[in-house]
Amino acid sequence: MKQLTLLFTYLTSFLVSAQSPEYWVYFKGKPHAQQAIAEGRLAIGEEALEKRFLRSVPIDAKDVAVSPEFTQELRNMGAEVIGTSRWLNAAAVAWTGNPLDLGRLECVRKVEPVSRWGAGSAAYSHSMGSTSLDYGSAAQQIQLLNGQSLHEDGYTGAGVRIAVLDAGFANANAMTTFDSMYVAQRLVDSYDFVHGDANVYDAGGGHGTAVLSCMAALNPDTLIGTAPHAEYALYTTENVFSETRQEEYNWIFGAERADSIGCDIINSSLGYYDMDDPSQSYSFSQMDGGSTVVTRGADAAASRGLLVVSSAGNEGFSSWQRIIAPCDGDSVFCIGGVSLTGAFALFSSRGPSADGRVKPNVSAVAASVQVANGSDVPVPANGTSFSSPTIAGLMACAWQKYPTKTNWELMKAVEFISNRYWAPDSLTGYGIPDFSRIDELLSAEGAMIERRSLEVFPNPSNGDIRFVLDGNEGSASWHLMDLLGRTMQSGTSENGRLTLSPELPTGAYILKVVAGELIGFQRIQIR
């Protein structure tokens, strides 16, 4: 692996006093960003730049570090800068003074309080069960998704880099399950953002180990994961002894480091809504894709070209019931849970998002998932913590096969090959993907290019619609279908415009446009 010269801005101190309140301090722009871009002074390395170029993801101000002059102004006031986020253009600070004084700095746009670094009871959203090529005990959970079809074609995640943000990876470095990852030097980075060191094996328990095993396990006849030859970066961002917004900015620090070293995928089997300090908890109305700190960070990661795969949550039996951040993000691939037979797992969090978007996006096995949680003997475990990495691993295999596709194309393709695509619901979203069909959407001969080329606006619409298929507004036939695939209205257009009957009920529909050999599909909301 080539050495990278990185302009990281990491945590300057993790162990701040429990008596010091913390704040997110957001800055007004990055005054020297364009000059830094022109001179190549970026906070990402060569491998990340290569992947941006491969997938046509532009370089912009989010790839430039927070202005050091701004953070120095905070230090000059006596604030302790815990860390910075170049994506949010913000700093996490410990500050004992009046927060209004921080807001008076000319460089500061706003100040947002964060709860104290507590040490209360653990508040983990994704519980594990403890009951009891050959995939071993993992066969059924992979075969439900037809994931073996990618493996049989030789795509096992090789060359794809996955960051795992979790609570700790106890004993992972001493298990046969992960031997090949270490021997082949496919562990490319690790860091504990909770304690401020590189040892991710001594704290946080085995939750991260179990999550990792769903992807990276390579123990033939015993347990094989969905991406056994991928590269991995392991980051501890979750403090299992508390639930505070500290963990949200740890998440962002980990995601930015993942971006900097050229990771392709982030798996996040974590979620946030209920904090130790009730004043810092979120309401469901804030699961709208933009209100929580961690969701804004996750969407920023997606804007950098990373595929962010996140657990829906295990709140089905709780009073909350719904999805949790960051999987409410519109660019975050939210994974729900089913049983080994494909039935909805009742503990899995429900959708939609607070603003009505389909969530979860898709679902995988979350009940009685076979994992390695600290030993080489697989055990069954429950939680969407494990459906998320199962999907993330198979998407890594698909990305290995089609490396020039974007994260968005990959997400839309996996939604389309799922069994409820035409009738998504609030339980499993678009349903269970069939990865044996991925070529239909992503290959040069497949239909993904045509389906992705249809633009429809305005959307939502009152019935007067303009569409552009493959960049053209020419003659085409169109069909408006309901979510069960039934044609509700149809017609022809000579100028890329159509008008729907006013009697059409409001709701979600699928617009299909055909022009010669081009076929485009787009979901549209009719008001």
Same domain, 72 and 42: yes
CATH code of the domain in which 222 resides: 3.40.50.200
pLDDT tens, residue by residue, 139-178: 999 999 999 999 999 999 999 999 999 999 999 999 999 9
Extract the tokens encoding 237: 């961002």
Question: CA-to-CA distance for 191 and 210, rounded, in angstroms?
Answer: 18
What is the DSSP code (8-state) at residue 100? H
Q: Which residue has the tokens 């769903």?
A: 214
From 428, 446, 464, the end of a domain falls on 446
CATH at 514: 2.60.40.3080
The per-residue pLDDT for 444 is 63
d(CA 325, CA 174): 32
| Sequence-ordered list of residues with C-beta below 8 angstroms from that of 248, at least 6 positions apart, any chain | 114, 272, 292, 293, 294, 297
Of 365, 301, 283, 266, nearest to 85 by C-alpha is 301
Would 129 be classed as within a structural domain? Answer: no
In this structure, are 360 and 484 located in the same domain?
A: no
Q: Is residue 8 part of a domain?
A: no
Distance of CA 221 to the CA centre of its chain: 31
pLDDT of residue 445: 56
Helix axes 407-416, 384-401, angle to 10 degrees: 110
- Element holding 413 (H helix, E strand): helix 407-416
Residue 297: in which H helix or E strand, if any? helix 293-303
Would residue 125 count as lying in a domain?
A: no
Four-CA torsion 40, 46, 52, 57, nearest 10 degrees: -20
Distances from the Cα of 266 to the Cαs of 17, 55, 117, 231, 339, in angstroms?
Answer: 31, 17, 25, 12, 24
Sheet containing 518-526: give its strands across: 487-493, 476-481, 507-515, 518-526
Give me the pLDDT at residue 304, please.
Answer: 94
Assigned domain for 121 exists: no
Residue finishing a domain among 446, 471, 490:
446
Question: What pLDDT was estimated at residue 126?
Answer: 32
Three-state DSSP class for residue 513? strand
Residue 219 in domain: yes
Q: Are residues 229 and 90 in the same domain?
A: no
- 353 phi and psi, to 5 degrees? -70, 170
Total number of domains constituting the chain: 3
> CA 209, 211, 216, 220 torsion: positive or negative?
positive
Q: Classify residue 81: in a domain, yes or no.
A: yes
> DSSP state, 279?
G
Q: Say which residues have a Cβ less than 8 Å from residue 233's Cβ, sequence separation at least 6.
A: 161, 162, 163, 164, 187, 188, 189, 190, 257, 258, 261, 263
Q: Which of 171, 173, 129, 125 is nearest to 371 (CA)?
A: 129
Q: What is the pLDDT of residue 114?
A: 78
What one-character DSSP code corresponds to residue 67? P
Domain that holds residue 31: 22-114
Q: How far apart are CA 17 and CA 302, in angstroms?
A: 33
Which residues sit opposite 233 in a β-bridge? 163, 189
Whether 412 is in a domain gets the answer: yes
3-state secondary structure of 175: coil
Q: What is the pLDDT along the chain (527 residues), one digit of tens a residue?
A: 222 222 222 333 333 333 467 899 999 999 999 999 888 889 998 889 888 878 888 889 999 999 999 999 999 999 999 999 999 999 999 998 888 899 999 999 999 887 543 333 333 233 333 322 689 999 999 999 999 999 999 999 999 999 999 999 999 999 999 999 999 999 999 999 999 999 999 877 899 999 999 999 999 999 999 999 999 999 999 998 889 888 999 999 999 999 999 999 999 999 999 999 999 999 999 999 999 999 999 999 999 999 999 999 999 999 999 999 999 999 999 999 999 999 999 999 999 999 999 999 999 999 999 999 888 999 999 999 999 999 999 999 999 999 989 999 999 999 999 999 988 999 999 999 999 999 988 886 554 433 446 888 898 899 999 988 877 777 889 989 876 557 889 999 988 899 999 889 988 888 888 887 677 778 788 88
Q: What is the pLDDT of residue 12?
A: 30
Answer yes or no: do 485 and 370 share one domain. no
Asked whether residue 434 is assigned to any structural domain, the reply reads: yes
Residue 159 shares a structural domain with residue 183: yes
Q: Do 247 and 371 belong to one domain?
A: yes
SS3 411: helix
Same domain flag for 472 and 440:
no
